[in-house]
Amino acid sequence: MRLALSCSRFFLTLATAYVLLTALLWYAPGRDLDESLWGTAQTLANEPGARTFSSYFEFTRWYASELVHGRGGTSIQFGVPVSELIAERASTTLTNAWRGFAAAWVMALTAGVAAHFWPGIGRLALGAGSVVLSLPAAFVVVALALNGVAPWVGLAVCVWPKTYAYWQTLLQMARKRAHVLALLAQGAGPWRLQWHAIWLPNTRQLFGLLAVSVPLVLGALIPVEVLCDQHGLGQLAWRAVAGRDLPLLTALTLLFTAVTSGMSLLAETAGLEAK
C-alpha cells in the first residue's frame, strides 16, 4: 500500500508539473506558432505550411507526443531541437554530478566514522559544515575556482554539509537504540559496534539518504557550471532562464522534476521517513 501511494505521488507530481508548464507555454506571448518553432516572438500562422493549435488540449497532446518521441520542441536561442542540446550537454553534467556526489559522501561517511571514535571531529565537521552553509554557493565556487580547483570539488564542498548532517542524525538515532546500548553494556569493541550494530541495520536508510541527496547535487550544479563555464545542463538551464527560452526551460524543468521525484520515490521505498 505504501509503495502504491508513493508511486501515485510520483506520477501525480509529474502530471502536475506537465500541466503547469504547458499552461505557461500556451498563455505565453507568441503561442500562435507552427509546431516546429513554437515559443518564439514571431507569428507564423500566415506562412505556407504553418500549423496553429486551436486549443490548449490540442497543444498538450502534441507536446506529449513530442516528449514520447524524444524531441520536446526547438530551442529559441540555439535554433536546434531541445533533445539534441540536452543529449550534447548531459555527459558534462553527469561527470560533474557523480564526482561531486561521490566526494561529498566519502567525506560525510569518513567524518561519521571518525566522530564515533573521536567526538571532537564530529563537532568540528558540524561547525565547518555550518560555515559552508552560511556562505552563498556562488562565493564558495568562485573561491575554489580562483585557486584552480576542479568544478566537481566545488560541487562536493557545497553538498557535503547537508549529507553529513543527514548521516550524523541517522547515526545518533541508531546509537540510542536498545540493542546498541546492550552491546555497549556487554563491552563490545568499537569496530564491532560500529559495523554490526549501527551500519548494517541502517543500510536501507543509508540508500534512502543517498537518493535524497541527489536533488542537492542538482541544485548546486547550476552555480557550479555557470561560474566555472561548464557546458552542462545547469548552465543550459541558466541560459534558458536568461534568454526566456520557454521550450528549453520546459524540457529541463520536466527532466529535473522527474529525477527529483524519482529519487524521493527510491528514498521512500528504502524506508526513509521524510519529514
pLDDT higher than 80, residue 179: no
Q: What sections of the chain are H helices per DSSP?
A: 2-27, 56-68, 82-117, 119-134, 137-146, 151-175, 178-185, 190-192, 203-227, 233-242, 246-269
Residue 129 located in a structural domain: yes
Its domain, for residue 171, covers 91-244
Q: What is the pLDDT of residue 49?
A: 42
Calpha distance 252→174 (Å, rounded): 39
The residues facing 74 across adjacent strands are 81
Residue 142 located in a structural domain: yes
Q: Look at 112 and 36; give whichever has higher pLDDT.
A: 112
Give percent above pLDDT 90 in the chain.
1
Q: Look at 191 and 272; give whichever has higher pLDDT.
A: 191
Binned at pLDDT 50, 70 and 90, residue 186 comes out as low
Query: Which phi-psi region, left, alpha or beta, contains residue 150 (left: φ > 0; alpha: ψ -120 to 50)?
Result: beta
Residue 249 located in a structural domain: no
Q: What is the pLDDT of residue 195?
A: 63
Contact residues for 168 (Cβ-Cβ < 8 A; gap 6+): 111, 112, 115, 122, 125, 126
8 A C-beta contact, residue 243 and residue 76: yes
Residue 3 located in a structural domain: no
Residue 37 located in a structural domain: no
Q: What number of other Cβ atoms are within 10 A of residue 37's Cβ? A: 17
Calpha distance 102→112 (Å, rounded): 15
Residue 151 located in a structural domain: yes
Query: Over the stretch 218-265, which tens digit does the pLDDT of each residue have?
Result: 888 888 888 888 888 989 989 888 888 888 888 899 889 988 888 888
Q: What is the pLDDT of residue 190?
A: 63
Binned at pLDDT 50, 70 and 90, residue 30 comes out as low
Q: How many domains does one find in the chain? A: 1
Query: Over the stretch 46-57, which tens digit does the pLDDT of each residue have?
Result: 333 445 667 778
- CB-count exposure of residue 9 (10 Å: 0-12, 13-18, 19+): middle
Calpha distance 19→14 (Å, rounded): 9
Residue 211 sits in a domain whose CATH number is 1.10.3720.10
Mean pLDDT for the chain overall: 76
Side-chain-side CA neighbours of residue 216 (13 Å)? 24
Query: Over the stretch 114-164, which tens digit does the pLDDT of each residue have?
Result: 777 777 877 888 788 888 888 887 788 888 877 888 888 888 888 888 888
Residue 71 located in a structural domain: no
Residue 81 located in a structural domain: no
